[in-house]
Amino acid sequence: DIYIEEDRPRVENAVEEALATGDSFDVEARFERPDGEIRWFQIRGEPTSEDGEVMTLRGAVQDITERKERERELEQIEARFQALVENFPNGAVHYFDGHLRYQYVAGAAFDVINTSPEDLEGKTIYEAEPYSADVTETLEPVMESTLAGNEETTEISYEGHVYELRSTPIR
C-alpha cells in the first residue's frame, strides 16, 4: 500500500512471479510522501530457495527520483530538438559526437541537394563520401572548436549552394 495505486499491480506481479519462479526482479514504482511529494523507487528482489522451493525474498529499494527527472528532461529536450529539425526551413541540423561522427542529421536543406541524411549518419566527416577535402578542411576546425565549448559561424560551399554554418555545443 505504500506505492501509488497505479504502480501497485506492477510491484505485486513482480514479487508474485519471483516467488513462483525463483527468478529475480527489478521494477520501478512511485511513492507519495505525506507532504504530497512523489518519489520514484527502483525495487530489486532476489529469491533464495532450498530444494527448489522459494524460502525467502531479499531485496533492495533505491530512490531514483533524480534519475527519472533527468530522463523526463532529456525526453522533453529531444522532442523540442525533433520539432526544430522537422520544421527548420531552408536548413539542416547536424548532431555530432566527440569523434566528429554524425549521430543525427535532418532538415529541409536535403531536399535540394544530392546528399541525404543517410549518407552522413554514423560516419565521421572523413568517411562521408560526398565531402571534398575543402569541405572537410572547413568543417574540422569548426566542429573541434564547438566540442571545446565555443559557438562558431562560417560559410561553406556544398553541391552548388552556399550555407551559413552555425555550430553550438550541446551539453
Interior CA angle at 150 toward 145 and 151, to 5°? 105
161, exposed or middle or buried, with CB in 10 Å at 0-12, 13-18, 19+?
A: exposed
pLDDT at 111 over 90: no
pLDDT at 171 over 80: no
pLDDT at 169 over 80: yes
Confidence grade of residue 141 (pLDDT, cut at 50, 70, 90): very high
pLDDT at residue 66 in the model: 96
Rounded-to-integer distance, Cα 50 and Cα 56, Å? 9
Q: What is the mean pLDDT of residues 132-153?
A: 91
pLDDT at residue 81 in the model: 79
Per residue in 2-23, pLDDT (tens digit) is 899 999 999 999 999 998 888 9
Per residue in 144-153, pLDDT (tens digit) is 999 999 999 9
pLDDT at residue 129 in the model: 76
Per residue in 70-101, pLDDT (tens digit) is 999 989 988 887 787 777 777 888 888 999 99
Task: Return the H-helix or E-strand segment holding 41.
Answer: strand 38-50
pLDDT at residue 9 in the model: 95
Per residue in 34-82, pLDDT (tens digit) is 999 999 999 999 998 888 788 888 999 999 999 999 999 989 988 887 7
pLDDT at residue 80 in the model: 84
